[in-house]
Amino acid sequence: MCTGWYIRDLNYKQMKKYYSALFLLVALAGCIKDPQTAAQIDCEAKNYGRFQLTNVSLYQYDVFINGKQLLRTQGKTAYKDVQVTPGFVDIEFRQVNGYLLYPTVNKTSILVGKCQDYTFIFPE
């Protein structure tokens, strides 16, 4: 004969505690939000990709997307979640100050996907 523990062997008070704890666990598990879910929903609704930009220089750089200035970065600064429309994108990083004759200019082209993250560290 098996002498294991069974739910049917519990009295009313024990059953009440057992089911209360089980209900609480199920209720809490349903309320936990994934932090990525909100960002994912937002980027899908608004249709954009995200750039993470890091200026490792001491000097300011202008960032151009498809020929239009997106922002001016300060030296030794990171910018997160810069939103960009999906598709082919031409990116240019142009030094603003601290050069002798000509500014440092970095250019690249990429295909930006919806809800995708891209990291750029400049100048290189």
Residue 25, CA distances (Å) to 28, 98, 124 in order = 5, 59, 51
Give the fold, CATH level 3, of 47-122: Immunoglobulin-like (2.60.40)
Burial of 65: CB neighbours in 10 Å, binned 0-12, 13-18, 19+: middle
CA separation for the pair 14, 5 (Å, rounded): 13
Amino acid at 104: T
Query: What is the mean pLDDT of the segment spanning 8-14?
Result: 65
Report the chain's mean pLDDT, rounded to a whole number.
84
pLDDT digits (tens, 9 = 90+) for 101-116: 999 999 999 999 999 9
Specify the pLDDT at position 15: 66
3-state secondary structure at position 5 = coil
Query: What is the mean pLDDT of the segment spanning 27-39?
Result: 64
Query: What is the mean pLDDT of the segment spanning 51-58?
Result: 95
> Within 13 Å, how many C-alpha atoms sit on residue 47's CB side?
3
pLDDT digits (tens, 9 = 90+) for 68-99: 999 999 999 999 889 999 999 999 999 999 99
